[in-house]
Amino acid sequence: MRDFATHSVQADVTDEESLRAIGIREVDVAIVSLGQNMEAAVMVTLLLKELGVKEIIAKAVTPIHGRVLRKTGADRLVFPERDMGKRIAESLVSPNMLEHLEVSKGFSVVELLCPARFFGKSIGDLGVRSKYGVTIVAIRKAGEREEIIPNPGPGVIINKGDILVIIGQETDLRRLRDI
C-alpha cells in the first residue's frame, strides 16, 4: 500500500491498543472492510468511533449488518455485493445501459447507448425532457476520436453509437431505457 497511500501500517485493528499505537486518532477517514467477518467489522467500527475517528466508511454484508454498523458509528455504508448484483441485473435487463450511478434515493445518472429511434434526430426534436422528464447532460460521440459534448443544446444531432449521459428520476429513466 505504500505506493498508493501517504501512510500505511499493518496492525490488528480489533485490538484497541494497536489502534492507539498506530495513531488512529490522527486519520480523517477510516474504511472498515473485513470481508464476511461481521462481528469484527462491528467491533472495529465501534472502536474507531470511540477513539475519535472523524469519518468511518464501512462495508456491510446485509441490511441488518448495515443497521448495526450505523448504530455503532459508521457514517457511510457500502454494500458492494448488493450494488454489483443490481448493476449486473440491470445490464442483463437493459443491455443498452452501460453505467448507472444513484445520486440519491430514486434519482440517478445513467450512460445509455443511443436507442435506434434516436438516430439522426436532434435533442430538440426528440423532446426527451418533455416526454420522459429526464435531461441529457452529455453525449459521448461515436467515432475514432472520443469527443464529449457537455450540456448539449437542442440542435445537437444524435447518431448510432453515441452514448447519452442522462440524469433523472429512476421511474423516468426506466421508461426511456425501455423504448
Last residue of a domain, one of 58, 78, 98: 78
Full residue range of the structural domain in which residue 25 is found: 16-78
> Is the separation of the CB atoms in 132 and 168 below 8 Å?
yes
Q: Which of 76-90, 139-153, 156-170 has the lowest mean pLDDT?
A: 76-90
Cell of 9: 501500517
Last residue of a domain, one of 48, 78, 108: 78
Q: Quick one: pLDDT at residue 102?
A: 67
CB atoms within 10 A of CB 45: 25
What's the average model confidence in pLDDT over 170-174?
86
Last residue of a domain, one of 78, 96, 124: 78
Decide if 9 is inside a domain. no
d(CA 84, CA 26): 33
Chain centroid to CA 109: how far? 10
What pLDDT digit, counting tens, does each position of 99-116 carry? Answer: 656 667 888 888 888 888
Q: Is the pLDDT of residue 45 over 90?
A: yes
The structural domain count of the chain equals 2
- Residue 104: in which H helix or E strand, if any? strand 97-104
Residue whose entry in the numeric block shows the C-alpha cell 430514486: 106
Q: Are residues 111 and 65 in the same domain?
A: no
Q: Are residues 161 and 109 in the same domain?
A: yes
CATH number (domain holding residue 70): 3.40.50.720
Q: Quick one: pLDDT at residue 96?
A: 59
Cell of 99: 453505467
Q: Are residues 153 and 102 in the same domain?
A: yes
Q: Give SS3 for 47.
A: helix
Q: Are residues 24 and 107 in the same domain?
A: no
Q: Which of 26-35, 65-74, 93-102, 140-149 has the lowest mean pLDDT?
A: 93-102
> Is the separation of the CB atoms in 75 and 136 below 8 Å?
no
Q: Is the pLDDT of residue 92 over 60?
A: no
